Amino acid sequence: MKILLVISDNALQPTLTNTATEIRVTIGINDDFDQILDLCAGILDTEQIAHLHRLWADDAFPRDFNRSGDELIITARE
């Protein structure tokens, strides 16, 4: 399953999309990780939330950063 952390210039509130193949968490530029935790609590498991935290803050975690329009998409490097 692919996990994406998306920072959007236009997001007014954090959103979570969870499909069979992808978890996509979209936040605004002023949101923080506590808002991600609030959004994901009870929906994602501990491992998935830990993966999001690594995408968010772990400088040693290999990540890819891709800009698509008004979104910065952060994924684990494959």
Q: Where are the domains of the chain?
A: 2-76
Residue 31: its pLDDT value, please?
Answer: 92
Indicate the pLDDT class of residue 78, thresholds 50, 70 and 90. confident
How many Å apart are CA 57 and CA 60, to the nearest integer? 9
pLDDT digits over 42-71, tens only? 999 999 999 999 999 999 999 999 999 999
Q: How far, in Å, CA of 71 to CA of 28, rounded?
A: 9
For residue range 9-55, what is the model confidence (pLDDT) as tens digits?
Answer: 999 999 999 999 999 999 999 999 999 999 999 999 999 999 999 99
Q: Give the Cα separation of 43 and 57 in Å (integer).
A: 21
User: Residue 47 and residue 14: Cα distance in Å, rounded?
Assistant: 20
